[in-house]
Amino acid sequence: MKKIEPYQSKTEAIESLDNGGRFYNIKTKAKDGLISQSELGKVGGIFNDKQQMILFLEMSILKLSQAERNSIISTFDSDLEKSFQRFKSQYLLPSEANARGILSSNAIITGIPSLVDSQTEFSGFIMFPIISGSVTTFMMIPLMDEYDVYELRDEESAETFFIAHLKDSQRLPAERMVLGGVLKELKSSEDESEASAKFLEITYHTDAS
């Protein structure tokens, strides 16, 4: 989980993103008026994960006006435009996420996180990959074994939504913030055949002010 410092202007964003890519991206040029996946990946420190690249971009430009964001998006080359259309995020409130959120998709959710204490009766299970050599198997494990879990609430409703990040990340303060990640299944028991709920696996966060 990484904190994002969003761009403060369209000019700042373009100057950063239209960077020519890494030294081996010989087909891209800096300041040519086009933003490519390799250029976006360079800024975000991301190599091949297109879904994460798009989430990084959206978190980076979320403080700009809609007109400024649209102007930046209009400079994407064809490959980045396709990736953007495929992976662009849902913008949700915590009270909306369970009902409207699309599993395996990016989501950006604003709210106030409250850490779920390990002594509570929280029960939630996720499918976790176990890798042995070239073989990958999956098993159900409690979410709290691998993640710090929070209830996220908004100011419009008493409903909450679960969010989580791996335990080696810094814990989140109980302050209003914007969180970006991927929506995943959350099962109430190991025997449940279909997920009863969802949670957001957090990749990025930033202040909501």
- CATH number for the domain harbouring residue 134: 2.40.50.140
58 closest CA partner among 34, 93, 89: 89
Q: Are residues 201 and 129 both part of a single domain?
A: yes
Return the minimum-mean-pLDDT range out of 20-29, 47-56, 78-87. Answer: 20-29
Q: CA-to-CA distance for 47 and 38, rounded, in angstroms?
A: 8
Give the pLDDT confidence score for residue 209 in this predicted structure: 75
Distances (CA, A) of 74 to 34, 37, 79, 84, 143: 9, 14, 13, 11, 40
Q: Are residues 110 and 77 both part of a single domain?
A: no
Helix/strand/coil for 147 = strand
Q: Are residues 60 and 124 both part of a single domain?
A: no
Give the structural domain span for 35. 2-88
Asked which of 44, 73, 88 is the last residue of a domain, the reply is: 88
Q: Are residues 123 and 199 both part of a single domain?
A: yes
Instruction: Give residue 154's identity as a one-letter amino acid code.
Output: D
pLDDT at position 188 over 90: no
Classify each residue of 121-131 as buried b or exposed e, where b means 16 or more C-beta atoms within 10 Å of its C-beta. Answer: eeebbbeeeee
Report the percent of the chain where pLDDT is more than 70. 99
pLDDT band at 134 (very low <50, low <70, confident <90, very high): confident
Q: Are residues 72 and 117 both part of a single domain?
A: no
How many structural domains are present in the chain? 2
Q: Are residues 78 and 97 both part of a single domain?
A: no
Q: Are residues 11 and 80 both part of a single domain?
A: yes
Q: Are residues 63 and 114 both part of a single domain?
A: no
Q: Are residues 96 and 77 both part of a single domain?
A: no
Asked which of 33, 56, 88 is the last residue of a domain, the reply is: 88
Q: Are residues 116 and 193 both part of a single domain?
A: yes
Record the tokens describing residue 27, joined without a space: 């087909």
Return the minimum-mean-pLDDT range out of 19-33, 103-117, 149-163. Answer: 149-163
Q: CA-to-CA distance for 116 and 144, rounded, in angstroms?
A: 9
pLDDT at position 140 over 80: yes
Asked which of 24, 59, 88 is the last residue of a domain, the reply is: 88
Q: Are residues 114 and 176 both part of a single domain?
A: yes
Provide the pairing of β-strand 106-115 with 90-92.
Answer: parallel
Q: Are residues 128 and 181 both part of a single domain?
A: yes
